[in-house]
Amino acid sequence: MQLGSGEFKVDVNKYWVEEKSNKSLLILPPTGGVTVLDRSFARKFARAGYDVYVVETWTGLGFETVNLDMHNTTYGAGQRAIQAVLAQIDTDFIGILGTSVGALHAIIAASQEAKVDAVFAIVGGTPQSEIIVKSKVQQMVALRQKRFAHYKFTNDSEYQKALDDIFKLEPLKLEPLFKGKKLGMVLAKSDDKVPTSTQEQLRELWSPSLLIEYDGGHFSTIIKTWFFEDDKILEFFESASLKK
């Protein structure tokens, strides 16, 4: 289904139960769009009685410019998409499950959306500026090169400070609304896409009630989480929903 109004649109795939549910889950996929893993999670949660909303795409997704303010625009659009979906939900319990860049959006939402009760981030981190600077994702590496040439940065510290000064949705600076939520995360100990150091900083910020750690890198950890930890993640949200 498509949500939104005017020029802003959000495409959502909804999985629902036959009877009216009192709990909902938003799934925010990684870079590149919805995967078979996201669909598998959606089916699992739907079978467990959740209305599941897989947020597939939205206006502004993929926007890129050398301008440092780009990240306010792209992350702002992601939060607007989340808000559009939340506006459709009237269940007692709402959770968010995000993977990779989806986890980054989920982490911001944890500090912005009072309506959200629980958030689980798979290989997400903070600060966003450090992720942008240090990520080995090809898109971020290419953008770093363009910006060094355009802004005449001489080192990564200058680049990160410039980003940090302008970025408005940094979880480390937002109001700590996450403290009222149940939080969980998966940490990859050898990640160069969402650098492990940023995942460790998220762990320190959140003190998650469920922490799962893998020695591997970004993609292997995502796959292992889906294959081995799906029941544990479902139990995490079930426990949170029972406290409502």
Alpha-helical regions (H) of the chain: 36-47, 70-86, 101-110, 128-134, 138-151, 156-166, 196-206, 218-242
Phi-psi region of 6 (alpha: psi -120 to 50; beta: other; left: phi over 0): left
The pLDDT, as a whole number, for residue 8 is 94
Task: Return per-residue pLDDT of the chain as tens, 244 residues.
Answer: 888 778 899 999 999 876 788 999 999 999 888 999 999 999 999 999 999 999 999 998 877 899 999 999 999 999 999 999 999 999 999 999 999 999 999 999 999 999 999 999 999 999 999 999 999 999 999 999 999 999 999 999 999 999 999 999 999 999 999 999 999 999 999 999 999 999 999 999 999 999 999 999 999 999 999 999 999 999 999 999 997 6
The pLDDT, as a whole number, for residue 60 is 83
Please state the pTM of the whole predicted model: 0.96
Q: What is the DSSP letter of 20?
A: P
